[in-house]
Amino acid sequence: MAALLEIDGLKTYIKQRHGQVQAVDGVSLFIEEGETLGVVGESGCGKTMTGMSVMQLLPPGGYIAGGSIKLDGKELVGLSDNEMRKVRGNEVAVIFQDPMTSLNPTMNIGAQISEGVRIHRQVSRKEALDRAAEVLNLVGMPNPRERLKDFPHQLSGGLRQRVMIAMALSCEPKLLIADEPTTALDVTIQLQILELLYSLKQRLRMAVMLITHDMGVIAGRADRVNVMYAGKIVEQAPTEELFESMRHPYTAALLASIPRLSQNSSAALYSIPGLPPDLSHPPAWCRFQPRCQFATARCREEEPLLTGATPEHQYACFNPVGKGSLRPTAPLTH
């Protein structure tokens, strides 16, 4: 059975005044029906651009330079704007990070939610509003009927994110792209929203691409994980396996640099030296090599491709770390 979403060799570049940024450079991944795929990495690693390439909502100057994106067997790359509009919000929907700025402040939430329903489902205004109230109820909005007339500024951050989710779900998409859905929220609200997303995913049998920088969110919610660094996938594995026996030095270093509540805090944290690369001039060959403590000459002469003992667990590294072989070095001050 083919996967719901198949991305193959995706290259998304952004043209700028001086050259271009290789935001996504040869990413291949798939999502099965009903599965949650976590995409994790730091700012500028290309995780958001990967999601936005699926939606074809790219920033000015952004374009898909190569590769293919197949949703349910249908190629999305090269679709006209009109054809894409039928996919967007209907088969794939997205929740953005910031519910403060991604809702329209001049429209009440009933109008915002029903807009998509009317476009995709050819129903009357009244039926669309009924649907809006129904999805608001689904996302746990108290008094959904009365809330239809509210404007975004009348709602708290958590409720606004519920409205975003309701809007995304209004046409029952097969795939939901959740781009940092809880980063702007307080932790107690974050937990409420993550629980809500999980229960809705189960009920609607929807696949989720969960894009986040937070390894904790990934650990609790993703079935499989793709770790991205500088526009490339450096490691992919089922969640438990990734956390137990990560092989890429970047994954290991990232995990070692997170302070954990359950650990005693006296030990110094590992810290990755240097900065992520500038993607208009990425380092040749392995892109993590300038910051990697295991880098050898080969890493500067050849590009590591994704390999691994099993097709489920793949990593792009010539000198993979074994279980627990990465020890925090002396605390670095710079």
Partner 1 sequence: MTTATPLSAAEEASQPSTAFLELRHLVKEFPVTAGAVMQRKIGTVKAVSDVSLSVAKGETFGLVGESGCGKTTIGRLIVGLEKPTSGQIWFEGSDIARLRGREFRRRRRDLQLMFQDPYASLDPRMHVGNIIREPLTVQKIGNRQEQDSRVRQLLQEVGLSPKAIDLYPHEFSGGQRQRIGLARALTLNPKLIVADEPVSALDVSIRSQIMNLMNGLQETHGLTYIVISHDLSVVKYLSDRVGVMYLGKLVEVAPSQDIYDHPAHPYTQGLINAIPEPDPKRERSKNLQPIMGELPSAMHPPSGCRFRTRCPRAQEICAEEEPPLRAFGPRHIAACHFPLQTPIATA
What three-state secondary structure class fits 319?
A: coil
**Per CB under 8 A, 100 contacts partner 1:** no
Q: Which of 30, 151, 243, 294 binds partner 1 (CB under 8 A)?
A: 243
Q: How many CA atoms lie within 13 A of 215 on its CB side?
A: 19
Nearer to partner 1, 7 or 242 (CB): 242
Residue in this structure with the two tokens 């809330």, named with its chain if needed: 147
Do residues 205 and 174 make contact, with C-beta atoms less than 8 angstroms apart?
A: no
Q: How far is the CB of 203 from partner 1 (least distance, A)?
A: 18
Q: Which of 191, 202, 298, 301 binds partner 1 (CB under 8 A)?
A: 191
Structure tokens at 156: 């708290």
Nearer to partner 1, 257 or 307 (CB): 257
Backbone angles phi, psi at 7, to 5 degrees: -110, 130
**Per CB under 8 A, 290 contacts partner 1:** no
Nearer to partner 1, 119 or 189 (CB): 189
What three-state secondary structure class fits 108?
A: coil
**Per CB under 8 A, 19 contacts partner 1:** no
Residue in this structure with the two tokens 């790359």, named with its chain if needed: 77
Nearer to partner 1, 54 or 136 (CB): 136
**Per CB under 8 A, 239 contacts partner 1:** yes
β-bridge mates for residue 232, sequence order: 229
Q: Which of 106, 122, 188, 310 binds partner 1 (CB under 8 A)?
A: 188
Nearer to partner 1, 79 or 189 (CB): 189
DSSP 154: G
Do residues 146 and 108 make contact, with C-beta atoms less than 8 angstroms apart?
A: no
Nearer to partner 1, 1 or 261 (CB): 261
* Rounded (10°) CA dihedral 278, 328, 213, 205: 130
**Per CB under 8 A, 271 contacts partner 1:** yes
Nearer to partner 1, 44 or 320 (CB): 44
**Per CB under 8 A, 253 contacts partner 1:** yes
Q: How far apart are the first and last CA of the chain?
A: 50
Alpha-carbon distance of 77 to 94, in angstroms, equals 18
Nearer to partner 1, 12 or 239 (CB): 239
- By CB under 8 A, which span of 15-23, 48-56, 185-193, 311-319 interacts with partner 1? 185-193
Nearer to partner 1, 105 or 259 (CB): 259
Return the closest-CA partner of residue 300 out of 289, 292, 310: 289
Q: How far is the CB of 191 from partner 1 (least distance, A)?
A: 4
**Per CB under 8 A, 215 contacts partner 1:** yes
**Per CB under 8 A, 158 contacts partner 1:** yes
**Per CB under 8 A, 324 contacts partner 1:** no
Structure tokens at 298: 């080969």
**Per CB under 8 A, 98 contacts partner 1:** no
**Per CB under 8 A, 312 contacts partner 1:** no
* Rounded (10°) CA dihedral 248, 254, 259, 265: 60
Burial of 251 (0-12, 13-18, 19+ CB in 10 A): buried
Non-local CB neighbours of 204 within 8 Å, separated by 6+ positions: 169, 172
What three-state secondary structure class fits 227?
A: strand
- By CB under 8 A, which span of 7-15, 202-210, 272-280, 301-309 interacts with partner 1? 272-280
Which residues in this chain contact partner 1 in the complex, by CB under 8 A? 42-43, 156, 158-159, 186-192, 194-195, 213-220, 239-240, 243, 253-255, 257-262, 264-265, 268-273, 275-276, 331-334
